[in-house]
Amino acid sequence: MLVCIPDVLDAAQLVSLRERLDRAGEAWVDGRVTAGYQGAPVKFNRQIDERSEVALACQRIVVSAIERNPVFISAVLPNMVYPPMFNRYGEGMKFGAHVDGSVRIHPHDGRKIRTDVSATLFLTNPADYDGGELQIEDTYGCHSVKLPAGDMVVYTAASLHQVAPITRGTRTSCFFWVQSLIRDDAQRTMLYEMDGAIQRLNQTNADEIARRSLIGCYHNLVREWSET
């Protein structure tokens, strides 16, 4: 599953985030501090110290936005969200091909969070930098993603992916992981497509009995497959 979600952040939220990040100073650290043994040799970027005050303030903005976003909820069916992190790529920086670690330790309370879904929220407009595409491989090939500021892409964390080298400008993004109620990506995709069909049928006032039956099937599948 790979879903692009437009307008996760509005203009005011983008300005607030970017101003905080631009003023972060020493809170910007080597991105390898949170990389595992696979990622560290191929990771060349900067990121905000995830325990810093600026990280906490920015996390609140992002979490508030995704909690209210119906497409994010439908596509991901979140159970636990790892606190959003923030990175920056300047010229020559990149993150080579890797698969995200399967479990993350929550930085504030020590909980273990299974990483079912990866998310990248773009904070820089594509015209402001060259390169820096998020390249995600799945069974259908390689997908290159470079979205407007405020848009987000979510995809299975089991995917091999990388960030292409920056050749001009600076790319700033937010990234995080989600433990979904539905561990299996194929099941999660099926539920997302079913929910989309239900919403379209609701908008057209299609047969009420049929809609009610389909809604019941959706919730019974969530009940059958969920791990909470």
pLDDT in tens, 173-216: 999 999 999 999 999 999 999 999 999 999 998 889 999 999 99
- Kindly give the pairing relationship between strand 160-163 and strand 94-98: antiparallel
Identity of residue 183:
R
Distances (CA, A) of 195 to 1, 64, 73, 180, 189: 15, 22, 11, 16, 10
Query: Phi/psi of residue 47, each to 5°?
Result: -145, 160
Is residue 158 located within the same domain as residue 175? yes
122 with 15, same domain?
yes
Specify whether 102 is located in the same domain as 206: no
Of the residues 148, 165, 180, the one at which a domain ends: 180
Residues 189 and 169 in one domain: no
| Same-domain pairing of 76 and 37 | yes
The pTM (predicted TM-score) of the whole model is 0.95
Q: At residue 226, what is the residue type?
A: S
Q: What is the pLDDT of residues 38-51, one digit of tens each?
A: 777 899 999 999 99
Tell me: do 145 and 201 sit in the same domain.
no
Confidence of residue 96 (pLDDT cuts 50, 70, 90): very high
Which residue range is the domain that position 200 belongs to?
185-225
Q: Which residue has tokens 């773009």?
A: 122
26-37 burial code (b ≥16 CB/10 A, e <16): ebbeebbebbee
Q: Are residues 45 and 87 in the same domain?
A: yes
